[in-house]
Amino acid sequence: MKPSILSALSLLVSCWAAADSSISPSRQQYLNNLLIQDCGSCHGLTMKGGLGPALLPTSLKNKPAAFITATILDGRPGTAMPAWRPLLSDQEAAWLTARLLSGDL
């Protein structure tokens, strides 16, 4: 791997770590419940899909994280996917995206 790719990767990882540590454990618990109960009511408890499409790492792998985060924040007008901006900060939506992409729910 070229050094520039390595340093970009380590920057990315440190950004994630920073994003993680500033969301309190109780808020992380709230977000995990939201993911299973609210998101899960449409996307399936295990994110395999329902009214909404599957949100598994394999289903999302070709979509940029920023696109997924924007979908969570602003929803998809004209579809059942609601905007979560009233409930979530940008950082919290990014945290949910990372949870979905990790597949570790």
Binding-site size, ligand HEC (CB under 6 A): 22
Min dist CB 50 to ligand HEC, Å, is 8
Out of 19, 23, 36, 42, name the contact with ligand HEC by CB under 6 A: 42
C-alpha 36 chain-centroid distance: 12
Can you tell me which residue has the tokens 């609210």? Answer: 38
Residue 79 binds to ligand HEC (criterion: CB under 6 A) = yes
Residue 51 binds to ligand HEC (criterion: CB under 6 A) = yes
Residue 63 binds to ligand HEC (criterion: CB under 6 A) = yes
The half-sphere exposure of 2 on its side-chain side, counting CA atoms within 13 A, is 3
Q: Please return the burial class of 61, using the count of CB atoms within 10 Å of its CB with bins 0-12, 13-18 and 19+.
A: exposed
Phi, psi values for residue 50, rounded to 5°: -165, -115
Residues that bind ligand HEC (CB under 6 A): 34, 38-39, 41-43, 51-53, 55, 59, 63, 68, 71-72, 76, 79-82, 84, 96
